[in-house]
Structure 1
């Protein structure tokens, strides 16, 4: 059992952030295995073009994970791991949203600061 959602998210983040570490990419692709190339939210997440897509695709992957947990029998030895993965990925989802909201706020505040500079020092 692998943390496919986290591996896919890392690959998507690396793409968006411009991280070009082939060893890290290979590590995460190995973690994903065939899921990296199968149609679905995980493969799409690895190729996310922007933060909004990244958040949406990660959320979609969590829906799939929750459905997998719901289908897992009570006696399945993988169930505790899967439940732990749900908790981990929920925390990551909340942190990801907070980071995106923080960047959006920073962008808005930069505009406010820019306007203030022009108020204090009008263009001639």
Structure 2
């Protein structure tokens, strides 16, 4: 069993961050072999944090639907529920990353404003 959402998220974040770890990329791609379609594929190919968040949300919807359609006596049921917990945790981490990135941008804007206030530029 594999956690397709997590592996696709890893690939998407590697794209966003410009990570060039070929071993990690190859491993994630092997885990996803035969499962690159729909939100999983879109997540793996995401190139922005906004796209990662959007496609991860869609992948979570699909996973929730899969759990709802799985009988509780199915041996895979508990694994699917555990997978959901892990993916929701990853979703929170991605939201924190986005919020922190926005905070960095805001801070840079403030630093720029202070610099111009301190050293006005004459046109």
Per the TM superposition, whether the score is higher than 0.5 is yes
Tell me by how many angstroms 1:49 deviates: 1.9
> 1:7 corresponds to which residue?
7
> 1:62 corresponds to which residue?
60
Equivalent position to 1:104, from 102, 105, 114 = 102
In 2, Cα distance between equivalents of 1:104 and 1:8: 23
In 1, Cα distance between equivalents of 2:92 and 2:8: 16
Tell me by how many angstroms 1:85 deviates: 0.8
> 2:70 corresponds to which residue?
72
RMSD: 1.0
Question: Map of 1:44-55 to 2, 5 A cutoff?
Answer: 44-55=42-53
Deviations along 1:13-71, one digit per CA (max 9) or x if unpaired, are 111111122211110011112112x3x01011111121101110011101100100111
Moved more, 2-11 or 42-51: 42-51
Tell me by how many angstroms 1:103 deviates: 0.3
Q: Helix, strand or coil: the match of 2:35?
A: helix
In 2, Cα distance between equivalents of 1:24 and 1:61: 21
Structure 1 segments unaligned to the other structure (5+ residues): none
TM-score (norm 2): 0.94
Runs of 4+ in 1 over 3 A off after TM superposition: none
> 2:82 corresponds to which residue?
84
In the alignment, structure 1 residue 30 sits paired with structure 2 residue 30: yes
